[in-house]
A and B are shown apart, each in its own frame.
Chain A
Amino acid sequence: MSQVQSDYVSKNASKLKPSGIRKFFDLASQMENVISLGVGEPDFVTPWNVCEAGYASLENGYTAYTPNAGLLELREGISSYLNEQFSLSYDAKSEIICTVGASQAIDLAFRSILDTGDEVIIVEPGFVAYSPAVTLAGGTPVPLETVEEDEFKLTSEKLKSAITDKTKAVLICFPSNPTGATMTEEELEDVAQVIKDHDLLVLSDEIYAELTYDQTHYSIARIPGMRERTILISGFSKAFAMTGWRLGYVTGPEEILSVMLTIHQYTMMCAPTIAQHGALEALRNGREDLERMKRSYRQRRNFIVKSFNRMGLSCRMPGGAFYAFPSIQSTGMSSDEFAEKLLHEERVAVVPGHVFGEGGEGYVRCSYATSLESLQEAVKRIERFVNKNTE
Chain B
Amino acid sequence: MNEKEIEILEILEDNARIPLDVLADMVDLSEEEVEKTITSLEEQNIILNYSSVINWDKAAGKDGVVAMIDVKVTPKREVGFDDVAERIYRFPEVKTVYLMSGAYDLSVQIEGKTMKEVAFFVSNKLSTLDSVLSTTTHFLLKKYKHDGVIFEPEQKDKRIVVSP
Contact = CB atoms under 8 A, between A and B. Distances in A.
Contacts of A303: 22, 25-26
Interface string B36-66: 0000000000000000000000000000000
A25 B162 contact: yes
Contacts of A29: 160-162
A41 B163 contact: yes
B94 interface: no
B68 interface: no
A128 B164 CA distance: 7
Contacts of B162: 21, 24-25, 28-29, 36, 38-39, 349, 351
Contacts of A129: 164
B160 A25 contact: yes
A304 to B, nearest CB: 8
A319 B105 CA distance: 50
B163 A376 contact: no
Contacts of B10: 295
A299 interface: yes
Interface string A21-52: 10011001100001010111101000000000
A28 B162 CA distance: 8
A25 B162 CA distance: 5
Contacts of B160: 25, 29, 39
A43 B164 contact: no
A302 interface: yes
Contact of B25 (A43, A295, A307): A307
A40 B163 contact: yes
Q: Using C-beta atoms within 8 Å of the partner chain, give the interface range for chain A.
A: 20 to 34
Contacts of A351: 162
A29 B157 CA distance: 13
Q: Which of B11, B15, B161 has the most CB of A within 10 A?
A: B161
Contact of B161 (A299, A300, A306, A349): A349
A313 B149 CA distance: 36
Contacts of A128: 164
Contacts of B22: 303, 372, 376
B27 A299 contact: yes
Q: Which of B10, B19, B164 has the most CB of A within 10 A?
A: B164
B163 A299 contact: no
Interface string B61-104: 00000000000000000000000000000000000000000000
A38 B26 contact: no
A41 B25 contact: no
Nearest to B26: A299
B164 A21 contact: yes
Contacts of B25: 302-303, 306-307
B117 interface: no
A40 B164 contact: yes
B23 to A, nearest CB: 9
Nearest to B162: A38
A376 B27 CA distance: 15
Interface in A1-28: 19, 21, 24-25, 28
B28 interface: yes
Nearest to A42: B159
A128 B26 CA distance: 30
Given A40-B164, A295-B7, A302 B28 contact: yes
Q: Which of B19, B161, B162 has the most CB of A within 10 A?
A: B162
A300 B18 CA distance: 13
28 contacts: A19-B164, A21-B162, A25-B160, A25-B161, A29-B162, A38-B163, A39-B159, A39-B160, A39-B161, A39-B163, A40-B163, A41-B163, A43-B157, A43-B159, A127-B164, A299-B7, A299-B11, A299-B27, A302-B26, A302-B27, A302-B28, A303-B25, A307-B25, A349-B162, A372-B18, A372-B22, A376-B19, A376-B22
Given A25-B162, A299-B26, A376-B22, 16 more contacts: A21-B163, A25-B161, A25-B163, A28-B162, A29-B160, A38-B161, A38-B163, A39-B160, A43-B159, A127-B164, A128-B164, A299-B7, A302-B25, A302-B26, A302-B28, A376-B19
